[in-house]
Amino acid sequence: MEVNADEFLNIKKKFSGKGLLVSGDISSAVERLCCFSVYHFLKHNKKEKVLWVSTDDPYSKVIRIFEEYGYDIKPYLNRFYFVDLISLKSGAEIEEKPKVKYVQDPGNLTELALAISEFIEDEKVNLVVIYFLNSLLIYNEIPRALEFIRVMVARAFDSKFAFLGAYIEGEHDHKSRTAIRLSMDAMAKMENSHLHLITSKSISSFSFEFTKDQLKLTEAKGNFSREKFLQ
């Protein structure tokens, strides 16, 4: 699966039916790339729907994070669906919204899968984002979390939606990181000012720059090793 800059921005076309791991260390632009991808997807696909699965932040905070990056998604909230894994567990007050589902126990992957499935089947969402996968590995045994990720990739293929899973590196051992990468079809690796798009057969590297509500990608010159990033 070859990837170029224009195709990466067209998530609907390039990653429909596939799982993409968005990965980088804690100082990288993983969060911003996920937010931009959703904003760009909603803005340029007038009828498509997005499901954001939040492991750590409630709905209002996630919307505020979009705004802080300069991405006004309020005009598209009628196509923005949300699964909240943290509010009930933390004891926070919740506000019932028709496009928001609350999961009682983030360690219950069956409950989470049912909440996601309802939006996939009833609303026909076209992009599913889990931000972020690390928390699933905290609340659940690693084999169970990996099984859940693989099932999500299979569901993406079957239902033809794009699945983005965000992962912050450095929290788990090498074996777990490798297993997560192998569970997905491709990886967007954030490293300093570079974005590396890695598939089972190739690597495409870009220099990236966020400007207002745009993402500028230019082909990066250098000797980038696919094997290095998969270690």
pLDDT digits (tens, 9 = 90+) for 177-210: 889 999 999 999 999 899 999 988 888 899 999 9
Query: 3-class DSSP state for residue 171?
Result: coil
Cα 57 to Cα 131: distance, rounded to the nearest angstrom = 9
Instruction: Report which of residues 4 and 208 the model is more confident about.
Output: 208
**pLDDT grade, residue 93 (50/70/90)?**
confident
The domain limits of the chain are: 5-193
Four-way CATH pick for 5-193: 3.90.1300.10, 1.10.10.10, 3.30.565.10, 3.40.50.300 = 3.40.50.300
Residue 8 has pLDDT above 80, yes or no: no
Tens digits of residue pLDDT in 20-56? 999 999 999 999 999 999 999 999 999 999 999 999 9
Q: In the structure encoding, which two tokens stand for residue 229, read together?
A: 């990033």
Q: How far lies 13's CA from each of 16, 25, 57, 67, 206, in Å?
A: 6, 28, 29, 26, 19
Strands 127-131 and 162-168: parallel
Cα 130 to Cα 153: distance, rounded to the nearest angstrom = 12
**pLDDT grade, residue 133 (50/70/90)?**
very high
- % pLDDT > 90, the chain: 72
Residue 102 has pLDDT above 90, yes or no: yes
Contact 188, 34 (CB under 8 A): no
Contact 36, 215 (CB under 8 A): yes
Residue 98 has pLDDT above 60, yes or no: yes
**pLDDT grade, residue 151 (50/70/90)?**
very high
Cα 164 to Cα 145: distance, rounded to the nearest angstrom = 15
**Distance from the Cα of residue 221 to its chain's centroid:** 27
Query: In one letter, which amino acid is 2?
Result: E
Residue 1 has pLDDT above 50, yes or no: no
Q: pLDDT value at position 201?
A: 84
Mean pLDDT across the chain: 91
Q: In the structure encoding, which two tokens stand for residue 70, read together?
A: 């300069």
Give bridge partners of residue 131 from the DSSP assignment. 54
Instruction: Find the length of the chain.
Output: 231
Q: In the structure encoding, which two tokens stand for residue 90, read together?
A: 């933390």
